[in-house]
Structure 1
Amino acid sequence: MFESIKRLFTAETGESHPELDPHVAATTLLVEAALADGIYADCEQDQIRAILSAAFSMSDEKAARVLEQAESLAETAVDHHSFTKVVKACLDKQERVALVEQLWRVALADGEKSPFEDAFIRRITPLLAVGDRERVFARSRAEAHMRPR
């Protein structure tokens, strides 16, 4: 009886995805950043696709599959720990800082600074073992990248 209860709780806490691909976990965080303000705009989705192509060198087909899987996971996620845990374990510090910059790029893609997206990234950054200073610099780089030239 206790074993069945244990299995029930581990399935609900997100530990049912130990095989989660690090790219899918990172992409899920990008989708969650886009969803933080309650609006998942096409420009945010396009930004995520561009990140997948550039940062992870994915083909358009693979990027579409990863994004679809990440969107599905983001819809059903109850917390972010299962995703940040995988990312933290699989990406080195420099790659995690780059991911924080990508989170900012997604959040800024719609041209609006949302306090909800800001709060989401502030919550996620320590879970990725990225410091406040690095988060601020990552935001500055993302803002500079997003400015029209």
Structure 2
Amino acid sequence: MIAAIRQFFDNQLASPEQETSEHKVERLRLASAALMFELLKTDRHIDDRETRMLRQVLARTFAMDEQQLDDVIKLAEEEAAQAVSLYEFTSLMNETYDYEDKVLLVENLWRLALADDHLDKYEEQMIRKTADLLYVSHSDFIKTKLRVRDEQG
């Protein structure tokens, strides 16, 4: 999946030789979107509510237009059967994202995991591992989980 995502980024954005810091941030946001889809497939069942939440989170958080949403989701769906190294995503994020961006990503992962009103143990495990790789404190990991749970009532 990593190779396909990189190819998508290269097709959508400047090549690494021409990359500006703005383009790098956009590439990282697209990597975040793919990571979010990986969370959706963790419990082996992608619910329509989860897919709608994914589109809402991406549109709101990353200001992605409909075409970008369709492209990223299609790419992630096509590559869903392949293994993903969370480290490859999170290492890119650690280079550029500030702490608040990392916390927001963890919060959005909770939104996706709770969208179907069921928190699978593997979803929670993936969010915990992602938070650890992003160096998000355990306190913020818990706070984001509780905030999203309370929002969804």
Give the structure-1-normalised TM-score.
Answer: 0.80
How far did residue 71 of structure 1 move?
3.2
How far did residue 108 of structure 1 move?
0.3
The answer as to 2:41 corresponding to 1:35 is yes
Task: Give 1:138's aligned residue.
Answer: 144
How far did residue 101 of structure 1 move?
0.4
CA distance in 1, matches of 2:37, 2:3: 20
The answer as to 2:117 corresponding to 1:114 is no
Instruction: Please give the residue correspondences for 1:50-129 in structure 2 after superposition, counting only pairs within 5 Å.
Output: 50-129=56-135
Give the structure-2-normalised TM-score.
Answer: 0.78
CA RMSD across the alignment: 2.2
How far did residue 72 of structure 1 move?
3.6
Where does the alignment leave 5 or more consecutive residues of structure 2 unmatched? 10-26
| TM superposition outliers: structure 1 runs of 4+ over 4 Å | 14-20
* Local SS of the residue matching 1:101: helix
How far did residue 27 of structure 1 move?
1.1
Which protein is bigger by CA-based radius of gyration? 1
The answer as to 2:25 corresponding to 1:26 is no
Q: Percent identity?
A: 28
Where does the alignment leave 5 or more consecutive residues of structure 1 unmatched? 1-13
CA distance in 1, matches of 2:48, 2:38: 14
Q: Is the 8 A contact 2:90 2:130 kept in 1?
A: yes
Q: Is the 8 A contact 1:24 1:67 kept in 2?
A: no
Q: Is the 8 A contact 1:24 1:69 kept in 2?
A: no
